[in-house]
Amino acid sequence: NKQVEATHWEKLASINTSIVRQLQILKDCSPTENEVDALSQATIEEWLEVGDVGKYLTQLHIQFQSSRKHLKAMGDAAGVPIEPNQQTALIEETLTVPGVVAVLVPGAGGFDALACLYVNRESVRHAVGKRWANSGTSTVCPLSALAATSQVEGVRVEERS
């Protein structure tokens, strides 16, 4: 149904704008090392207890979950596996790892990739890798990427030309 797809598309546009806004807010946060450690060891449900940065990460998580919901519904309506069920299971498993903010299928979807946003601690990265290695649903090989090489740059908005 084209109307259903259009509605999801419009909601996704709004959610994506909210995600960018939330990332900009997070860029300006200056959490203490203790707060970052606490966030990396806590589940999403416990983040609200970790100051403003915990509140902002919780909001970011909710926005990414909403984005996933609309992408999956749009894919289902179009008969295209934007987020295949096998990946949904692994995403949901990964979201239970303390320190994980969001997990989603990047790009045009399919069965070949996942993106995981997490609190930047080696313990979280290792726990995600272990979860993926022990997943019986698919073979996943973690590939780490950093958002920026310095604290100064952080998240940036690139202008469209």
Q: Tell me, what amino acid is at 106?
A: P
> From CA 76, how far away is CA 83, in angstroms rounded?
9
102 versus 156: the higher-pLDDT residue is 102
Residue 36 pLDDT grade (very low, low, confident, very high; cuts 50, 70, 90): very high
Question: Is it the case that residue 101 has pLDDT exceeding 80?
Answer: yes
Give residue 38's pLDDT.
96
Q: What is the rounded CA–CA span in Å between residue 107 and residue 37?
A: 31
* Tokens 């990964």 belong to residue: 94
115-118 and 100-104 beta bridge pairing: antiparallel
pTM reported for the whole predicted model: 0.82
